[in-house]
Amino acid sequence: MTRYRMKKYTNRWPWIGGLLGALGGFLYWHEIGCLTGHCPIQSHWQTMIFWGAMTGFLLGDLLHQLAGKRMNNYGDADKRNL
């Protein structure tokens, strides 16, 4: 009988980027924000945290992919055709 195990999700960079982005979104709303309340994104702290987290998550994933490509191109001997 074959057992299937769930693959452990080891890609931490997007989650770290998401948390930093959420913190950055809150700080942006708190320090800069929208004074008049007519800005659809900047006037509420909930939307700023959401968009900050999404931006941080996507940037973290992009950095993870770029670092993986660089490692495979330059540092991983198993991936090269020797």
Name 32's Cβ contacts closer than 8 Å, sequence gap at least 6.
42
Distance between CA 51 and CA 42 in Å, rounded?
A: 10
Residue type, 9: Y
- Check residue 56 and give its pLDDT: 96
Q: What is the mean pLDDT of each run of 10 residues along the chain (82 residues)?
A: 59 90 94 83 88 95 83 56 46
Does residue 25 contact residue 51 with C-beta atoms inside 8 Å? yes
Residue type, 59: L
Does residue 76 contact residue 57 with C-beta atoms inside 8 Å? no
Give me 50's structure tokens.
């959401």
